[in-house]
Structures are given as C-alpha cells and as structure tokens.
C-alpha cells in the first residue's frame, strides 16, 4: 500500500482518472453533431464551428488534469 504514495504513480493516476469523463463527454458531443449533420447537411459549417468550440471547453478539463499530473511529477 505504501507503493501507492509514489509520486510517479500518483501523477499517472491523476491523468488517467481525469481523462475518463472528458473523453466520454467528447464522444457524446461528436455523436450528437454527427446526428445533426445527417439530418441537416446544409447546416454543416454552423454545426462544425459549434462542435469545435464545445470540444475546446471539454478538452480543457482533461488538460487541467494533465497539468496537475505534470506539476506533481516535475515540481516536487
């Protein structure tokens, strides 16, 4: 159990755990966007633009987890 206190392990675990929910959310976003695109192909640019912006917000949350993992690993 003491091996769990290893900072390398904690850093890896941080990003692994923190990327699960953003990944699921991105999958739902893209699936909804594909569905909307299939129903209304002429709204393509509008759908893609909004999708990209939503993806940026969601990915940022995974990036927060990554930054915390990097900080744990490289800054003490």
Partner 1 sequence: MLSKRNIIILFVAVAAVAANFIIPKPFDPVIVLHAEYIPIPVRLPLLGDHIPNTVIATWVTMAVLILVSVLATRNMGLVPSGLQNVVEMVIERLLGFFEGMAGERARQFFPLVATFFLFIIVSNWMGLLPGYGSIGVWEEHHAEEVQAVETVAHEAEKAEEHHEEEKVLAPILRSAATDLNTTVALAICSVVAAQAFGFRAAGFGYLTRFIKFGRLFSFVKGLIGRGPRQGLETLLMGVGDVIIGVLEIFDEFTKILSFSFRLFGNIFAGEVLLIVIAFLMPLLASLPFMALELFVGFMQAFIFAVLSLSFFGLAVAHGEHEH
Which lies closer to partner 1 via its Cβ, residue 20 or residue 71? 71
Q: Which of 15, 21, 8 is nearest to 74 (CA)?
A: 8
46 CB neighbour count, 10 Å cutoff: 11
State the helix-helix crossing angle for 20-39 and 44-74, rounded to 10 degrees. 170
Which lies closer to partner 1 via its Cβ, residue 41 or residue 45? 45
Site residues for partner 1, window 28-47 (CB under 8 A)?
45
- Quick check: 49 binds partner 1 (CB under 8 A)? yes
CB 70 within 8 A of CB 11: yes
- Quick check: 4 binds partner 1 (CB under 8 A)? no
- Quick check: 60 binds partner 1 (CB under 8 A)? yes
- Quick check: 20 binds partner 1 (CB under 8 A)? no
CA distance 38 to 22: 24
- Give the residues lining the site for partner 1 (CB under 8 A): 45, 49, 52-53, 56-57, 59-60, 63-64, 66-67, 70-71, 74-75
């Amino acid at each position: 159990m003491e091996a769990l206190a290893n900072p390398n392990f904690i850093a890896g675990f941080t990003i692994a755990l923190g990327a699960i929910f953003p990944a699921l959310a991105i999958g739902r976003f893209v699936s909804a966007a594909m569905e909307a695109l299939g129903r209304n192909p002429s709204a393509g640019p509008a759908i893609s633009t909004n999708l990209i912006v939503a993806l940026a917000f969601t990915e940022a949350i995974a990036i927060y987890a990554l930054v915390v993992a990097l900080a744990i690993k490289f800054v003490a």
